[in-house]
Amino acid sequence: MLFAAACLTTVATSCSLDEEDYVDIEKNNYMNDASEAETVLLGVYQAGAVDATYGMNLSFYLNMGTDCEQVEGSSTENFRIVPTNAYPTTQSDIQNTWEALYTGVYRANDFLERLSVKMESFESEDDKNLAAIYLAEARCLRALYNFELVRRFGNIVLMTSTAMSDQHPSTFVQEDPVKVYEFIEADLKYAIETLPYATDDTYRESNDFRFSKGAAMGLLAKVYATWAGYPIQDTSKWEQAANIAGQLINSGKHDLLADFEQLWYNTCNSIWDPTESLIEISFYSPTASASSDPVGRIGKWNGVRATQIAGTRGRCAANDKVVHSFVLDWRAEDGIGMTTDGTNNVYTYEPEAGTPGYDCRRPLSIANYQYNDDYVLWTKTSSITDEVAAQNDLNPDAGQRYKQNYTPAKWDIEKYTQAANVVINDDKSNVNWYVLRYADVLLIYAEALNEWKGGPTDEAYAAVNKVRRRAYNDTSHDLAQGMDQAAFREAVRKERKYELAFEGHRRLDLVRWGIYYETIQETYDKLMNWWPDANYVVYNYTVKGKNELCPIPQRDMDLCTQFEQNPGW
């Protein structure tokens, strides 16, 4: 998705669902041709490029507290309160995300209503064709914002028009989530029929970071897979998820990049490649500044820790930490760790990424290092050699507290960003965020076929193995044939954990599978077996039947008197 400096300005109103006032332009006198319409459309995209949406909250902040990642520290103070599930219904971060998503919905509704009327007077056929594409883009955006609302908050108001914002807050009622999903489905089906594939687009001057047919199809597959899971559990949607994902796969319009690492070089430098990137939030500007552009925190919060070097780079706080049992489990897949030859401990070193037979994703996803003035392993000190540091990293008895400081490595700003990609300051970056990759669609396809058919099909095996073959750079790690439904289900779930690590999917996956609480409990037990002093604060605050959903913000509960709060809150 492309961001743009919004031409529309928000004025605070009585509740989050109310109309947004635009003071910069006279809307009725605008959108007189496709060029003007596109400018307003970019304001709809921009709603996804703020801290409360994908700049921070929807990318990583609300998604921590899993078996893979957690916030740093051993308390619930300050920014730790949300990722540890310790926050109240009055938490401002939750209110801000709810409000920002409804702002996006309102902007989409307003754009759709006005352009539908305006385009009738367009004189140019090219302008009319572009207007039809812009309407489809806006419906994709409305679908995405509504999808984030319903899967995170559950019981929401379905805002289908701007006129609804004229209602008094006391008249708003929460819609049946099934109706919300049906509305999302209709938007995406319309877009699929209207939008071109990214590689076939001869209409838009640039489709960089914009919705395409493939993006709409992939998002709809994910919507169906979520609809089939907790809390709605309409298992008939597995067939529809498999069908739409299969159509996208069989189109041949998208594929995996040959090199997994290229994904992270691309997104850290705003290189648009629609081969695998289906929905991507762009924060890039060659002249970006924290004060004038919508920038995010990608790589600052959830990247590799780095100290500030004046005039060269900003600090990376790296507050998003890897849960160490996840590190151990993933290494065990490749036999990486400490073994014994009967007399001495033998340490199997991490192979270089791309070594055949080893999962290239692990060292490219998990950083056991930081940047000071130089590249430094967490377990290394001035008196320890690189070899001993590597041994300590694998030694289950050495330096355990350091191992809790491992971080995601996919957004390693120091490693990937080029000079032209400005790293803005100690807090913000213009690194992009993947909302949906083609690899995700392949795994949804395999999962949906297994659930629909009662066991894995040849196509399901092929989809998972395509992902694994890139990871291992060989075919010897293909899934074993002959799995039953339960075994294949577990294999796909594990593959999603590795392929999509730290990309904002894990918590939402655990919720839709109905195992979020249980996974937190199991992870705590694993960590205590590893090291009894390990930090895992989310364990103390996670409640079954409560933390699967965010609360309806208290401000809106107070104003919208017909609302019912989510269970447990």
Using CA atoms, how far apart are residues 178 and 235, in angstroms rounded to an integer?
Answer: 13
Same domain for 444 and 349 = no
Name the maximum alpha-carbon separation found in the chain.
Answer: 85
Task: Pick 290 or 486 by higher pLDDT.
Answer: 486
- The torsion of the CA quartet 19, 23, 24, 25, rounded to 10 degrees, works out to 70
Could you report the per-residue pLDDT of 494-524, keeping only the tens digit for each? 999 999 999 999 999 999 999 999 999 999 9
Q: Give the pLDDT score at 12.
A: 33
- The kind and range of the H/E element at 510 are helix 506-512
Using CA atoms, how far apart are residues 224 and 239, in angstroms rounded to an integer?
Answer: 9
Counted domains in the chain: 3
Q: Structure pTM?
A: 0.93
Same domain for 180 and 95 = yes
Could you report the per-residue pLDDT of 536-551, keeping only the tens digit for each? 999 999 999 999 999 9
Residue 146 scores a pLDDT above 70? yes
Same domain for 154 and 16 = yes
* CATH number assigned to the domain comprising residue 9: 1.25.40.890
Report yes or no: 247 and 430 within 8 Å, Cβ to Cβ: no
Q: Which of 431, 460, 494 is the last residue of a domain?
A: 431
Q: Give the pLDDT score at 4.
A: 30
Could you report the per-residue pLDDT of 455-485, keeping only the tens digit for each? 999 999 999 999 999 999 999 999 999 999 9
| Nearest of 480, 498, 484 to residue 455 by alpha carbon | 484
Q: Domain for residue 268, yes or no?
A: no
Q: Domain for residue 289, yes or no?
A: no
Same domain for 9 and 139 = yes
Q: Domain for residue 548, yes or no?
A: yes
Could you report the per-residue pLDDT of 19-60, keeping only the tens digit for each? 444 444 566 778 899 999 999 999 999 999 999 999 999 999
Q: Domain for residue 158, yes or no?
A: yes
**Which residues form the domain of 422?**
320-431
Q: Domain for residue 147, yes or no?
A: yes
- Please report which confidence band the pLDDT of residue 18 belongs to, taking 50, 70 and 90 as the band edges: low
Could you report the per-residue pLDDT of 124-138, keeping only the tens digit for each? 999 999 999 999 999
Q: Give the pLDDT score at 422.
A: 58
- Please report which confidence band the pLDDT of residue 6 belongs to, taking 50, 70 and 90 as the band edges: very low
Task: Pick 314 or 211 by higher pLDDT.
Answer: 211
Same domain for 473 and 348 = no
> CA 472, 453, 549: angle at the middle one, nearest 5?
75
Same domain for 442 and 409 = no
Q: Domain for residue 549, yes or no?
A: yes
231: cis peptide before it, omega within 30°?
Answer: yes
Q: Give the pLDDT score at 355.
A: 72
Same domain for 101 and 3 = yes
Q: What is the SS3 string spanning 469-511?
A: HHHHCCCCCCCCCCCCHHHHHHHHHHHHHHHCCCCCCHHHHHH
Could you report the per-residue pLDDT of 411-442, keeping only the tens digit for each? 999 899 886 555 667 888 889 999 999 999 99
Q: In the chain, what percentage of residues exceed pLDDT 70?
A: 88
- Please report which confidence band the pLDDT of residue 13 belongs to, taking 50, 70 and 90 as the band edges: very low
DSSP secondary structure letter of residue 446: H
Q: Domain for residue 260, yes or no?
A: no
Q: Domain for residue 233, yes or no?
A: no
Same domain for 124 and 46 = yes
Q: Give the pLDDT score at 311.
A: 72
Report yes or no: 547 and 516 within 8 Å, Cβ to Cβ: yes
* CATH number assigned to the domain comprising residue 519: 1.25.40.900
Same domain for 51 and 33 = yes
Same domain for 406 and 364 = yes
| Nearest of 314, 319, 321, 308 to residue 427 by alpha carbon | 314
For residue 138, give Cα distances in angstroms to 108, 135, 295.
5, 5, 22
Using CA atoms, how far apart are residues 327 and 404, in angstroms rounded to an integer?
Answer: 10
Same domain for 333 and 409 = yes
Q: Give the pLDDT score at 348.
A: 53
Same domain for 377 and 349 = yes
